[in-house]
Amino acid sequence: MTIQPKNLSDPVVRDFVTAVNQHDRDAFMALLTPDATMADDGADRDLDDWIDREIFQSHGHMEVDRESDGGHALIARYRNDTWGEMRTRWRFEVDESGKISRFETGQA
């Protein structure tokens, strides 16, 4: 059963999923620390290049199936125009200011 973004436990993760699904790059970037990092399938990636290619230019969309770790870990069906739909895992590190300092994704 899909968890609607508005029902996700952690507010910054909720806003992350909403920004992805609304294709709102400015809102997405506002959720990250200035030095935020990310990894895809265990390999660190260039954040700006990756989010443009995998989310914003390819119309990425997340449907969350499960959350754990206080809302900092998700299992979601992720789809975009490049890869179609796949089952993915997401993990978020949120700093004391309430911003995402790192996120990791990959196939689940």
**Residue 48 CB-density burial (10 A; 0-12 exposed, 13-18 middle, 19+ buried):** exposed
pTM over 0.85: yes
Q: State residue 27's pLDDT score.
A: 98
Q: Which sign does the torsion angle of CA 58, 92, 33, 42 carry?
A: negative
* pLDDT band with cut points at 50, 70 and 90 for residue 107: very high
Q: State residue 25's pLDDT score.
A: 98
What range does the domain containing 61 cover? Answer: 5-107
pLDDT tens-digit series, residues 6-22: 999 999 999 999 999 99
Token code pair at residue 77: 């069906």
pLDDT of 60 above 90: yes
Token code pair at residue 82: 């490049």
Number of domains in the chain: 1
CATH number at residue 77: 3.10.450.50
- Mean pLDDT computed over every residue of the chain: 97
pLDDT of 1 above 90: no
